[in-house]
A and B are shown apart, each in its own frame.
Chain A
Amino acid sequence: MNLMSWGMYPRIESNVFKFDGEESLKHVINEHSELIPYGNGRSYGDSALSRNIVDLRPKNHFIDFDEDNGLLHVQAGVMLAEILEAFVLRGWFLKVTPGTKLITVGGAIASDIHGKNHHVAGCFCECVEDFKIMLADGTIASCSKKTAPELWKATCGGMGLTGVILAARIYLKKINSHYINQTTIKTRNLKETFAAFEEYRDKPYSVAWIDCLARGDDIGKCLLMVGDFRDDGQLDYRLKPQKTIPFNFPSFALNNWSVRAFNKLYYGRVKERVTRQKVDIDTFFYPLDAIGHWNRIYGKPGFTQYQFILPKETSYKGLEEILGAIADSGKGSFLAVLKLYGEANGNWLSFPMEGYSLALDFKIEKGLFELLDSLDKIVIKHLGRIYLTKDVRVSRETFEKGYPEIETFRKYRKDQNMDTKFQSLQSKRVGI
């Protein structure tokens, strides 16, 4: 079957395995190698692509919910959107959610995803009580941070390379409204942007949209959006009808000029320095989910997201340098998202560390990978790292420099015979 992830690049032929019960999955694992679990295909690059795919999306049963402490037990193929659909009405929300709700719980663990509240709530695995995983020899392990610390640290953020996550128990958080009080702060340069992040640090949710085509004194100007749930008792959450991009745009549709125009309009629509809005969950957390197949605006060649993080001490200098390099290159990025992070957890391949990360979308075109290679050098110089969940091209060398526990992870995989059994195009490229 022809398979791709969200970035639509690369597209490969894969054998897709579905399974009914645990026995049939065990059979697949025993008989094949180069396997990788595939959820809803929303990682951007090649982390869920391989010669052999285990399709987890059909495993979407809710198993149990404890109203007293908000502990939800689900199979790994359940999507975050399904959890919201069932539980927001009852006053529960995800403790940690990324910018799309169209990912599976298994994928959220494997990427140890984070959201707008990382600086207060950490990664997704912080809300996971335990999970069940089928290992390379076909046995099933129950894993919590306490009972199996090594498997935990390897699996949370381990990109599906330790086995097939079957089910998990996760804590939800109580909310008393599906509306959020949002404050938008307009800044004029990177210095103001950093100051604004610090000023609003106590807000649980924050994210900034950066105009990365701005030059000179304007570099780093942004709209910072911060917010928290209201307390008005309104919980009548309903799914909105979705608009869909019906076909791939011609790849010239996004160019320096159209992105510049978009950025100007987006930034220009906010007039005051500080404004306040009341917005709902979908508008605040998942603006892009409202447009189905938005990846098609980049055209058939596809796109990638370049997301890196820099430690706090080097963030300012590093971002200034990188934003300058992007502006000089003239390659447009619709979405440039800047985010403040709290402390790192101990998981071996988790992306977050205390500092700032920037995520930029680029369409795949000639010269792009050269530009990204040059950005890599700046990231490494400033002691940063690249996010595997978004990546499709990073070199082994750059990747290794960003993740100090890489050898621990490699050794663990080898010792557990996982290294040949579970592989993705990405794991082969970066040698994990």
Chain B
Amino acid sequence: MSYVLIVGAKSDIAKAIAREYAGHGYDLYLAARNSKELEEFAQDITVRTRRVVKIKELDILDYDSHQVFYDKLEEKPLGVISVVGYLGDQKKAQSDFDEVQKIIATNSTGIISLFNIIANDFEQRRSGFMVGISSVAGDRGRKNNYIYGSAKASLTAYLSGLRNRLYAAQVHVLTVNPGFVATKMTEGMDLPAKMTAQPETVAKDIYQAQQNGTNVLYTKWIWRWVMLIIRNIPEFQFKKMSI
């Protein structure tokens, strides 16, 4: 079988996704910044599954490098999964515009830059799948993380449009909205156990959804309904709330 490209491959969710896809027989490109740190992990997958795992250096914020990065892949991938994300510091971002730019570039512009290039190739080949990990935080802005939320909202809208465009070319686009996930990013936060998913569960859900051609996945599933409620709270009420 051929390659799946995983972008932002150092995160806990990305690693779980990599193991899941390799377990189903896919070879992998793992792309990240300082990608040398992934060598041990790549070896782990090879020992477990005997799949080919190639590590690729990629800086999602270096837009100009994206075309070269993609052109240099020995074999074009069957699909791409972006797990790139940066939660950032909301408080800091309120007064430090560098932090805002970093949050938006990482969660939105950087991914859009790379996905544009890959989408053009997939569209031309009339095959492929594209998966973007967005967030429930993109469904409605809240005071605790609306800079991150607005970047994710932008990604969500982008993926929706991309899905619409690529439908004709039979290229499937999946938007993933994870709720709480127990990862390094959320370590130390006090998360409700029943609403918090393990990275392995998220990875399994994503694999199933991608194989089934699901359009928008909430994981854990309960978040679809939680967010439905949150989206429907009237604004005059919502603005007074702390959630």
Cα distance A18–B16 in the bound complex, in angstroms: 18
A: contact size bracket: under 10
Cα distance A62–B23 in the bound complex, in angstroms: 14
How many A-B pairs fall under 8 Å by CB? Answer: 22
Output the nearest chain A residue to B48 by Cβ-Cβ distance: A86
Cα distance A64–B43 in the bound complex, in angstroms: 8
B43 and A61 contact, CB distance less than 8 A? yes
Cα distance A335–B122 in the bound complex, in angstroms: 57
B39-58 vs A, Cβ < 8 Å mask (1 yes, 0 no): 01101100111000000000
B45-86 vs A, Cβ < 8 Å mask (1 yes, 0 no): 001110000000000000000000000000000000000000
For window 7-48 of B, CB contacts with A under 8 Å fall at 23, 40-41, 43-44, 47-48
Which of B23, B44, B49 is within 8 Å of A61, CB to CB? B44
A361 to chain B, nearest CB (A): 26
Chain B residues positioned under 8 Å from A85 (CB to CB): 23, 48
B205 to chain A, nearest CB (A): 14
B28 to chain A, nearest CB (A): 15
Chain B residues positioned under 8 Å from A61 (CB to CB): 40-41, 43-44
Chain B residues positioned under 8 Å from A64 (CB to CB): 43, 47
A62-83 vs B, Cβ < 8 Å mask (1 yes, 0 no): 1111000000000000000010
Cα distance A290–B123 in the bound complex, in angstroms: 44
For window 52-67 of A, CB contacts with B under 8 Å fall at 61-65
Which of B23, B44, B187 is within 8 Å of A63, CB to CB? B44
A27 to chain B, nearest CB (A): 17
B6 to chain A, nearest CB (A): 17
Chain A residues positioned under 8 Å from B48 (CB to CB): 62, 82, 85-86
A78 to chain B, nearest CB (A): 9
Cα distance A85–B40 in the bound complex, in angstroms: 20
Output the nearest chain B residue to A87 by Cβ-Cβ distance: B48
The interface centre, meaning the residue of B23, B43, B48, B187 with most chain A CB atoms within 10 A of its CB, is B48
B103 to chain A, nearest CB (A): 24
For window 333-366 of A, CB contacts with B under 8 Å fall at none
The interface centre, meaning the residue of B41, B47, B49 with most chain A CB atoms within 10 A of its CB, is B47
Chain A residues positioned under 8 Å from B49 (CB to CB): 86
Cα distance A86–B44 in the bound complex, in angstroms: 11
Cα distance A397–B43 in the bound complex, in angstroms: 48
Chain B residues positioned under 8 Å from A86 (CB to CB): 47-49
For window 75-100 of A, CB contacts with B under 8 Å fall at 82, 85-86
Chain A residues positioned under 8 Å from B40 (CB to CB): 61, 63
Cα distance A404–B40 in the bound complex, in angstroms: 43
Chain A residues positioned under 8 Å from B47 (CB to CB): 62-65, 86
Chain A residues positioned under 8 Å from B43 (CB to CB): 61-64
Cα distance A18–B48 in the bound complex, in angstroms: 24
B232 to chain A, nearest CB (A): 29
The interface centre, meaning the residue of A18, A61, A63, A82 with most chain B CB atoms within 10 A of its CB, is A61
Which B residues form the contact surface with A (CB < 8 A)?
Answer: 23, 40-41, 43-44, 47-49, 187
Known pairs A61-B44, A63-B40, A86-B48 / 9 extra A-B pairs, C-beta < 8 Å: A18-B187, A61-B40, A61-B43, A64-B43, A64-B47, A65-B47, A82-B48, A85-B23, A85-B48
